[in-house]
Amino acid sequence: RPDWLKPTGSCWGHKPTEPEPAPDSRPRYVLPGLPAAMHRHYSLDVSAPLLRTQGYVDGRWVSAASVFPVLDPATGKEIARVSDCGPAEAKQAVDAAYKAFHSWKQCTAKERSILLRKWFDLLTLHKEDLAKLITFESGKPIRESLGEIAYSASFLEWFSEEARRVYGDIVPSPAKDRKILLLKQPVGVASIITPWNFPSAMITRKVGAALAAGCTVVVKPAEDTPLSALALAELAEQAGIPAGVFNVVPCSREKTPAVGEVLCTDPLVAKISFTGSTATGKLLLKMAADTVKKASMELGGHAPFIVFDSADVDKAVAGAMASKFRNSGQTCVCSNRFLVQSGIHDRFMEKLGKAMDAELRVGHGSEPDTTQGPLINTRAAEKQVSDAVSRGAKVLKGGKRLDGSFMEPTLLANVTTDMLCMKEETFGPLLPVIRFNTEEEALAIANASNVGLAGYCYSQDVSQIWRVAEALEVGMVGINEGLLSTPEATFGGVKQSGLGCEGSKYGVEEYLEVKYMCFGGLKP
């Protein structure tokens, strides 16, 4: 069985477009080692109702035969023990969801809309505690965690509104004695498999759409971050979401393959939605194929970030900082390959280095001035730095692993296309820059990948912007903008970056089927 959620070179989510917090007036810098504050004792202080450690099935909190530990990735210390659900609990959750589907789909769109809105209101009310959970189980800096909760809640708000806009069609008939109607109906039970790097938003982006459409769900959160999913279940219950509509089955890495197999092969499941690595997505698709399930896949990315000579250098540097160093580079729309045109290259590098010195600080996510938390997997970034240096790249900033799971934000120059960092997704704070001369050269490098999730382009030449945006083989393009995710727009990729899309008015369509109804025998 596959080692499903091993976060090596994989895509685990994206960073939302929440407003930037006010900058700290104190100087920030990349430390040669971890700050002294890391030797403090950090404890998770969250109100009791939100700190849930059991599975949530059919409106009940259920224990399993064993538990597994949840660790703070910054310190390695245990913060909770969670029920280690197995295939039996997963099957119970599927059965509960299937039973609930028959009543949930009969609710009016307005009734579903009201419940989703109540859920949104509760997320907003408890945003501080929910953010603490994210920081302690994923390592994300607290300001980013607060941003994720705002982003997570926004999907419930958006889909609460979209629930009432699921329209069918009346099609002109070629015959006078019949009418043609196209109805949209929910597909049924959806299995939701989510990553660790956005443990709240990746759930609501999928579940909000599913529930709006009239589907019921079984959520399997990442084994590293089950607490956020269980807190969402608590608030769903408080909001009045009926039993069986929203189920959460947490499990350890060891039980993940068996639980995942149930969620992807059970005949009662009609749809799977997965965010994670391309390799794992392919395995899930193979399992789902036997019962011909509908599937949405948000998989790996390797985003190019192209800076042309006409670009505003300051804006390009700010965009690079935002796009690369969010969540310490651990998002699937993070820029991985930086392409800078020769005429602007040196100025860009100088200003980027200064920005890294001024703005980045490594530390525990609960410290208010921390911008760079721990990495889930330091080996991939270390390997890419070592490979690049061996092939002639120059380390301008950082380059070293710090104590534990931390790594210095790293800036590489003299990068070439044969280096590993230009071929594989990084998932870490590594910023490799390659110099190019022509637009055609930049596009050839940018499109030389079997994945295509996001891409970024900085230019003030309108004609060039149109040419490049249309030529980039990606599902999303940021033009003079490093942060592009929002509930109102689609989120999805091309090539091997996935199938379907999430968010926007099209996100609901992923959970609907079209039924053709021919009404005949009418008298003209």
Query: Which residues are catalytically annotated?
Result: 298, 332
User: Can you state the angle between helices 342-359 and 313-325, rounded to 10 degrees?
Assistant: 50
User: In this structure, are residues 48 and 133 in contact, taking their beta carbons and an 8 Å threshold?
Assistant: no
In 216-356, which ranges are E strands?
A: 216-220, 246-248, 269-275, 294-298, 303-307, 335-341
Residue 71 has which token pair?
Answer: 């660790």
The string over 458-472, giving b where at least 16 C-beta atoms fall within 10 Å of a residue's C-beta and e elsewhere, is: bbeeeeebeebeebb
Select from 501, 503, 443 the least CA-distant residue to 473: 443
Q: Token pair for residue 106?
A: 């009969």
430 is written with which tokens? 């590594």
In 240-312, where does DSSP find H-type helix?
Answer: 256-265, 278-289
Distance in angstroms (rounded) separating the CA atoms of residues 170 and 184: 12
> Which residue in 9, 139, 5 sits closest to 427, CA to CA?
9
Q: Residue with structure tokens 């459409």?
A: 213
- Measured between alpha carbons, how far is 390 from 126 in angstroms, rounded to an integer? 49
Which pair of tokens denotes residue 254?
């060891």
Query: Using CA of residue 381, residue 382, residue 384, residue 389, what is the dihedral sign?
Result: positive
Q: What is the distance between the alpha carbons of residues 421 and 388, in angstroms, rounded to a whole number? A: 7
Q: What is the DSSP annotation of 12-68?
A: ----B-PPPPPPPSS-----SS--GGGGS-------GGG---SEEETTEEE--SSEE
